[in-house]
């Protein structure tokens, strides 16, 4: 108990801050911050596995998040029958061709010795394959995109409950990570960072512009929900009764019947959105706890010890007979898969998929700030980092406004400097993140909750 005191203290402070937001701003805001904190925590756990356990830099978090989001769309949206009949066969055939192409290349790479001819043949297969696939897929894509472009214009998904997408998102992201890992893990640390950053940009470019698959920048809206809808809740009796019970003391003060009814209605509307957010919080909390248990178990297992050995001294670990390349690949896939889960969760919570909103600053660098600030190598630290940084990211604007008002109190309201500063309040969050990161890296390089390994 004693040794975990700082963990408990840090988490209680964090919870206290969120509760303060609930009291002073509104419970709705507090819960949406809390939910996004949980999602960020999942992302940081993924990044922390890669960076904290194994020392791999993955600046491609944005790409994996987007793939998770794509999974949510492909699982939950109902299939668009007309689109399938218009161009489905072409797409399926192209898919088959892609698989055939990959297998052919693999076969050649495996069975022939390295030579110039082999390289030319592989290149020829790839170029020829791409040309053929383009010819076959193009009419199909055009046909699909012409099916009611304002409403659908894409193939749709499988029409399953969206919860499944959390698993599928993990598989998507893990699959991509496997390919990237095969290609790029041999690179030096900073090269890997740049390579993953650029690959994630490619992923986003594809998601943005392949309208037949994702609707691209037209966005997919109105995804299914695992939680009840507010409108339905507002008409169910048990929920109204529940709200009435909760607020009975407040409601009893009102004697007038119609006034009381109006107040109750207002409370029900507010309560319904809080209730929906609570449902999400519950779901997300379950994911976070499961992941936390798994990652903690892994950290203290022989495998975790091996990973730390590889991180701290690759050559020595290699000399001890550990397969460094294989373990790096494994951990890269695992960490990315967790990020994929977070991506699917994010889209589930928003109920919409907007490829245009994936930007490296928000989905890659901010997550890295979370990992570094929280404490790399320590799962509790990573989660705390997700909470702290997201909380500050959201609350930076009010804090910034307060600070601006404080420092420029002597100036008139119309003074150009004051007006300008108040207009640029949203950008104080960047300043806060940057300064926070620099201070933490300088004075507490291991983060708020540093890595602590006890051998039990």
Residues that bind another protein (CB under 8 A): 57, 183-184, 186-191, 193-195, 197-199, 201-202, 205-206, 208-209, 361, 365, 368-369, 372, 421, 423-424, 427-435, 437-438, 441-442, 445
Residue 122 or 352 with smaller CB distance to another protein: 122
Residue pair 157/76 in contact (Cβ under 8 Å)? The answer is yes
Residue 161 or 445 with smaller CB distance to another protein: 445
d(CA 20, CA 296): 30
Residue pair 316/309 in contact (Cβ under 8 Å)? The answer is yes
Shortest distance, position 82 Cβ to another protein, whole Å? 24
Residue 193 or 341 with smaller CB distance to another protein: 193
Q: Could you tell me how many helices (H) and strands (E) the chain has, helices first? A: 22, 0
Q: Which two tokens stand for residue 403?
A: 């600070």
d(CA 176, CA 198): 14
Shortest distance, position 375 Cβ to another protein, whole Å? 14
Residue 209 or 250 with smaller CB distance to another protein: 209
Shortest distance, position 390 Cβ to another protein, whole Å? 15
The dihedral region occupied by 145, where left means phi > 0, alpha psi between -120 and 50, and beta the remainder, is: alpha
Shortest distance, position 368 Cβ to another protein, whole Å? 6
Burial class (CB in 10 A: 0-12, 13-18, 19+), 332: buried
| 358-363: long-range contacts, CB 8 A cutoff, minimum separation 24 | 358/62, 358/65, 358/66, 358/69, 358/204, 358/207, 359/62, 360/59, 360/62, 360/197, 360/200, 360/201, 362/62, 363/61, 363/62, 363/65, 363/66
d(CA 262, CA 253): 14
Residue 209 or 415 with smaller CB distance to another protein: 209
Residue 9 or 316 with smaller CB distance to another protein: 316
- Which residues are CB-neighbours of 420 under 8 A, at least 6 positions away? none
Shortest distance, position 178 Cβ to another protein, whole Å? 15
- Which residues are CB-neighbours of 407 under 8 A, at least 6 positions away? none
Residue 202 or 289 with smaller CB distance to another protein: 202
Residue pair 218/153 in contact (Cβ under 8 Å)? The answer is yes
Residue 95 or 202 with smaller CB distance to another protein: 202
Residue pair 446/375 in contact (Cβ under 8 Å)? The answer is yes
| 240-245: long-range contacts, CB 8 A cutoff, minimum separation 24 | 240/264, 240/268, 242/271, 243/267, 243/268, 243/271
Shortest distance, position 199 Cβ to another protein, whole Å? 7
Shortest distance, position 362 Cβ to another protein, whole Å? 12
d(CA 223, CA 239): 24
Q: What radius of gyration do the chain's Cα atoms show?
A: 25
Residue 158 or 179 with smaller CB distance to another protein: 179
Residue 57 or 338 with smaller CB distance to another protein: 57
Shortest distance, position 388 Cβ to another protein, whole Å? 15
- Which residues are CB-neighbours of 31 under 8 A, at least 6 positions away? 22, 274, 277, 278, 281
The dihedral region occupied by 344, where left means phi > 0, alpha psi between -120 and 50, and beta the remainder, is: alpha
Shortest distance, position 435 Cβ to another protein, whole Å? 6
d(CA 169, CA 65): 9
DSSP 452: -
Residue 113 or 442 with smaller CB distance to another protein: 442
The dihedral region occupied by 77, where left means phi > 0, alpha psi between -120 and 50, and beta the remainder, is: beta
Residue 13 or 194 with smaller CB distance to another protein: 194
């Amino acid at each position: 108990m004693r040794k975990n005191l700082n963990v408990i203290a840090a988490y209680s402070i964090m919870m206290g801050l969120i509760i303060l937001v609930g009291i002073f701003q509104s419970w709705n805001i507090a819960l949406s911050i809390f939910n996004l904190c949980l999602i960020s925590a999942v992302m940081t756990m993924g990044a922390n596995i890669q960076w904290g356990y194994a020392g791999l830099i993955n600046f491609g978090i944005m790409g994996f998040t987007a793939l998770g989001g794509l999974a949510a769309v492909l699982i939950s949206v109902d299939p668009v029958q007309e689109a399938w009949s218009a161009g489905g066969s072409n797409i399926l055939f192209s898919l088959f061709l892609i698989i055939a192409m990959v297998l052919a290349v693999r076969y050649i790479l495996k069975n022939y010795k390295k030579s110039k001819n082999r390289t030319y043949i592989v290149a020829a297969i790839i170029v020829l394959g791409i040309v053929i696939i383009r010819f076959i897929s193009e009419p199909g894509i055009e046909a699909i995109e012409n099916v009611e472009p304002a409403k659908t214009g894409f193939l749709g998904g499988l029409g399953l409950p969206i919860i499944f997408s959390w698993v599928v998102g993990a598989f998507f992201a893990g699959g991509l990570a496997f390919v990237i890992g095969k290609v790029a893990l041999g690179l030096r640390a900073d090269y890997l960072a740049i390579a993953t950053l650029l690959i994630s940009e490619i992923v986003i470019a594809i998601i943005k512009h392949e309208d037949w698959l994702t609707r691209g920048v037209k966005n997919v809206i109105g995804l299914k929900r695992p939680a009840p809808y507010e409108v339905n809740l507002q008409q169910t009796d048990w929920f109204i009764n529940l709200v009435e019970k909760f607020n009975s003391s407040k409601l009893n003060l009102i004697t007038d019947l119609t006034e009381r009814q109006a107040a109750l209605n207002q409370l029900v509307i507010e309560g319904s959105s809080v209730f929906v957010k609570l449902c999400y919080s519950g779901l997300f909390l379950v994911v976070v706890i499961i992941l936390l248990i798994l990652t903690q178990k892994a950290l203290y297992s022989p495998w975790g010890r091996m990973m730390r050995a590889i991180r701290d001294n690759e050559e020595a670990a290699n000399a001890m007979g550990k397969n460094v390349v294989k373990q790096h690949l494994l951990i890269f896939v695992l960490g990315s898969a967790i990020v994929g889960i977070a991506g699917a969760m994010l889209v589930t919570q928003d109920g919409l998929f907007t490829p245009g909103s994936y930007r490296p600053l928000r989905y890659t660098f901010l997550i890295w700030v979370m990992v570094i600030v929280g404490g790399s190598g320590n799962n509790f630290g990573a989660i705390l980092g997700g909470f702290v940084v997201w909380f500050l990211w959201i609350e930076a604007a009010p804090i910034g406004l307060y600070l601006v008002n404080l420092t420029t109190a002597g100036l008139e309201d119309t003074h150009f400097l004051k007006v300008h500063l108040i207009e640029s309040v949203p950008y104080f969050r960047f300043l806060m993140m940057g300064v926070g990161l620099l201070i933490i890296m300088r004075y507490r390089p291991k983060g708020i909750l540093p890595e602590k390994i006890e051998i039990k």
